[in-house]
Structure 1
């Protein structure tokens, strides 16, 4: 079950929002994709569409998809467009596939940079039926959930989301969109340090989004970005796009979501994806820890967690740290901080108690036979290190802690000492006062070294939200009477086609002639009111070719030719549509 703190990203699909025009857009895209990808995508693609409950002719119900994908260990959930990358990865790590419920418009029928149901459903879902790929995607999500996200990443996400929302909102002005574009450019230009999250984003882009599989000479497509963009799917296999073997070096390649990619990476098989992912994970702070990990967290200026060899986890924004070479002497967090063990907040040590930050010395103690965390109760009694005792301890770093021991907290499973509560305590390093007795109880972390630094709070549920995300549903512009009329015509053609598909083989010529007259009447209405609508004309032409329509079909063909001559992109859409006439899907 999805944790409660992730449920705010989930929305209702609201299937009734999809218009007959939307259904026609979906059908056009899917017919194009399946026609090309049945030959050029990974071998599981066609089977994956069926097994994931995706129809060629209608927009899928996300809950129906979830029922189908549950057989493969996945559940689908509808989300509100762009959600924070960390949340997206955490949702995926729990075995849920976030699906954006929005659908691109006919004006962006071939590609949209914003998440939509074509990308998620037709792109990601079919390949999930391959167990090796599904395992990679879950492993990737688990690694990505540990990645350190910088404040630049968050600013970039907010700018992208704001721009995306404005572009989809029918009430937005040109000036508002231009201002949002300028804001995004400003954020992008300010990024000087590439975070772990950004590197993981590149890994995702060159694999799950734009990945190829097989040989360099004859690769096939498996990336969702390619599987949901027929234009780029076609061009990517040509010689103009450089094919490179997939290695961890793919993270050194940037990408532009608004442009076709100049190079793509080819994995020999899905098992290789996890090999490359593991190489990348070995470079990350959650595995390396130490000063390297602390420096990443400090630069990020976001909520991250520092784990000690004792098992104690400290979460918050790392403001600073003291270190001598690779030996960490002191860590200082600012703002709401949390202490946890094994991802569970220690009772009484949440952000309400540590609201203003948290700091503690780390390292070896002078005069102690073994690390404090390894000492048993008997060991501590021998040196009078017990509740009620006044004590002064000195770390090899020079940090001095002096006060009255009030509480000792041990790891519930290993028994290691993880926390010492001091009263009337003073902490100093030379002339610097790190903690004054007037500040209250001093909760000293016990640990000699930092074993891991990872993104986000250790206990996310207890810590609460680290951003102010609110799911936003872009309001539809109220349909004018003329738009409602267009929807009626699209629905009429859809209903007509469904009836034709149900005709028995014995349908007479007379019945077909009557049907042709009915279809001509629909076309005449379209001709009179919507001279620039190429999509419905295309649907009508395909049906007319199956009927005795010689008397009026040339009008449709002439209309489409005229549209093609005026607009090269429309000409491409029409030509592509005609190519799949008569194909069985």
Structure 2
């Protein structure tokens, strides 16, 4: 049976990607021969720009792991990354044609397999792309999979996602993913730093999230994050802050079933909401 593409957020444009290549689990071989010289040049330019920006803005763990990604001047081969990644934390990256449904996504994470879109943006999308591409997934997500505690957190998130699906709570859990794994900040001894992939792979949002005085930064509270809607087409108005990956793992280890029950009786919050009980974090 053919698998179907997934529409991202409120977008009316069907996602790109050749889903006819995907198996029942939505994975496919990385079609490395299909990359053009222009594709490799785009990846190289993106890598060079972003790697020059992350010092002083990305968390220490990301900076330490980034060299493990390998090739900089061309799109890496996934099997080359996996040789290093599996030895480090037991994870591997697998190719997918684009966004995939919740259950296959959670299932892959629960089995320590991270889905990476295997196509790359066009030059016209160099500064901003709505859907994740191979650069976002590799540069933004994969380096921290070399960090053992964070790697364990991602696997636990996958297992929790399967449970959330059974309980009809995927929307609430997806907000936590958005505000941590995609757009999370961390307090370190040298100040606020980014660990979320959506920040780390974006030149504009990286500076906005860490240095700008515009957004509000709030100490992470799981229930608070699950109530909060988010923006997909602009910089975030709110960022949630942790102190360490161990703290994030400990906060998300308990059973979320009671939280899902609470959320049924709580109103959703706009992306720029500020509550009296919020603990604001200074830059």
Same fold at TM > 0.5: yes
**CA–CA separation in structure 1 for the residues paired with 2:242 and 2:124:** 34
Return the offset for 1:93.
Answer: 0.3
**CA–CA separation in structure 2 for the residues paired with 1:60 and 1:38:** 22
Secondary structure of the corresponding residue to residue 46 of structure 1: helix
RMSD (Å) for aligned C-alpha atoms: 2.4
Return the offset for 1:130.
Answer: 1.4
Q: How many residues align?
A: 239
1:122 aligns with 139
1:56 maps to which of 62, 72, 93: 72
Taking structure 1 as the reference length, the TM-score comes to 0.39
Secondary structure of the corresponding residue to residue 147 of structure 1: helix
Match runs of 1:225-236 below 5 Å? 225-236=198-209
Structure 1 gaps, min length 5? 1-5, 151-194, 296-585
**CA–CA separation in structure 2 for the residues paired with 1:278 and 1:133:** 12
**CA–CA separation in structure 2 for the residues paired with 1:15 and 1:246:** 40
Structure 2 gaps, min length 5? 1-22, 265-283
Are 1:246 and 2:212 counterparts?
Answer: no
Secondary structure of the corresponding residue to residue 266 of structure 1: strand
CA 1:234–1:284 in 2, change beyond 3 Å: closer, same or farther? same
1:16 maps to which of 33, 37, 41: 33
**CA–CA separation in structure 2 for the residues paired with 1:97 and 1:81:** 13
Determine if contact 1:54/1:122 at 8 Å carries over to the other structure. Answer: no
Determine if contact 1:216/1:266 at 8 Å carries over to the other structure. Answer: no
Secondary structure of the corresponding residue to residue 217 of structure 2: strand
**CA–CA separation in structure 1 for the residues paired with 2:194 and 2:66:** 15
Determine if contact 1:66/1:77 at 8 Å carries over to the other structure. Answer: no
Match runs of 1:125-144 below 5 Å? 125-144=142-161
Match runs of 1:281-320 below 5 Å? 281-283=256-258
1:272 aligns with 247
Which one has a bigger Cα radius of gyration? 1
Are 1:147 and 2:160 counterparts?
Answer: no
**CA–CA separation in structure 1 for the residues paired with 2:231 and 2:195:** 19
**CA–CA separation in structure 1 for the residues paired with 2:250 and 2:64:** 26
Query: Comparing both chains, which one has the higher relative contact order based on Cα–Cα distances under 8 Å and sequence gaps of 6 or more?
Result: 2
Match runs of 1:164-563 below 5 Å? 195-214=168-187, 218-237=191-210, 238-248=212-222, 249-279=224-254, 281-283=256-258
Determine if contact 1:243/1:263 at 8 Å carries over to the other structure. Answer: yes
**CA–CA separation in structure 1 for the residues paired with 2:56 and 2:71:** 18
Deviations 1:171-197 (A, max 9, x none): xxxxxxxxxxxxxxxxxxxxxxxx410
Return the offset for 1:216.
Answer: 11
Determine if contact 2:220/2:242 at 8 Å carries over to the other structure. Answer: yes
1:83 aligns with 100
Taking structure 2 as the reference length, the TM-score comes to 0.78
**CA–CA separation in structure 1 for the residues paired with 2:70 and 2:190:** 31
Return the offset for 1:218.
Answer: 2.5
Structure with more strand by fraction: 1
